[in-house]
């Protein structure tokens, strides 16, 4: 179960996995198991019909039991506004990073703002992020820059997190901390 805010800073759980591995489903299970009011910070931007459809389906799948805040770039500022005793699902750090890369923003300063906001968040946070370090080396410079930046972001988030859960084929496994009780009861669908 997700703990409420701990004395040494916010309770942070990082959920890592490959594309379509079941990360978001695992993160949602963790949020529901907390029995706290749920806030969903969405970082996706809809630039085409495929992405609009994917976002619409995610909203339907989540249902009305979430307060959704769209923050493709301003996650740090959004986290500062969260009241205590909520559970926040940040989905996902990968799209947040992509948005900043494409906007040609300073990734190091944006990452530090995010890390600071996570440390000071008044509620527990579950972060979804893609693991990209197990693939091939991309052939173009932007893709290589993304891969390096994503790896650095994931390492920094994992360092700050109390718990890091990996997901492969929809199955969770613990990388840091202890596997939350909500994930021990069997295979999530």
Rounded mean pLDDT of 159-178? Answer: 95
Q: Bigger pLDDT: 174 or 6? A: 174
SS3 state at 90 = strand
Catalytic residue flag (residue 86): no
Judge if the upstream peptide bond of residue 92 is cis by omega within 30 degrees of 0: yes
**The model's pTM:** 0.90
pLDDT (0 to 100) of residue 8? 39
CB-CB neighbours of 115 under 10 Å = 17
- Weakest mean pLDDT among 24-28, 78-82, 135-139: 135-139
Asked whether 86 and 41 are in contact (CB, 8 A), the reply is no
Rounded mean pLDDT of 40-61? Answer: 91
Q: How far apart are CA 155 and CA 170, in angstroms?
A: 22
The one catalytic residue in 58, 67, 86, 100 is 58
At residue 59 the predicted structure's pLDDT band, cuts being 50, 70 and 90, is confident
Determine phi and psi for 152, rounding to 5 degrees. -65, -45
Asked whether 100 and 59 are in contact (CB, 8 A), the reply is no
User: Which is it for strands 163-168 and 171-176: parallel, antiparallel or unpaired?
Assistant: antiparallel
Q: How far apart are CA 17 and CA 167, in angstroms?
A: 5
Please calculate the CA angle 131-4-27 and round it to the nearest 5 degrees.
30
Rounded mean pLDDT of 2-26? Answer: 76
Is the sign of the CA dihedral 139, 142, 147, 151 positive or negative?
positive
pLDDT (0 to 100) of residue 136? 83
């Amino acid at each position: 179960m997700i703990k409420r805010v701990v004395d040494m800073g916010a309770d942070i759980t990082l959920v890592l996995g490959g594309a379509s591995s079941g990360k978001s489903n695992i993160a949602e299970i963790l949020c529901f198991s907390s029995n706290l009011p749920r806030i969903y910070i969405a970082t996706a931007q809809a630039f085409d019909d495929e992405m609009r459809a994917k976002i619409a389906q995610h909203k339907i799948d989540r249902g009305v039991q979430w307060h959704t805040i769209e923050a493709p770039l301003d996650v740090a500022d959004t986290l500062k506004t969260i009241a205590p005793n909520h559970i926040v699902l940040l989905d996902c750090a990968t799209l947040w990073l992509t948005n900043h890369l494409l906007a040609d923003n300073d990734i190091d300063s944006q990452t530090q703002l995010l890390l600071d906001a996570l440390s000071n968040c008044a509620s527990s946070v579950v972060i979804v992020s893609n693991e990209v370090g197990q693939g091939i080396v991309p052939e173009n410079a932007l893709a290589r820059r993304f891969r390096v930046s994503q790896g650095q972001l994931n390492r920094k988030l994992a360092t700050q997190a109390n718990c890091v859960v990996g997901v492969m084929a929809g199955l969770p496994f613990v990388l840091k901390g202890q596997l939350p009780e909500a994930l021990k009861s069997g295979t999530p669908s």
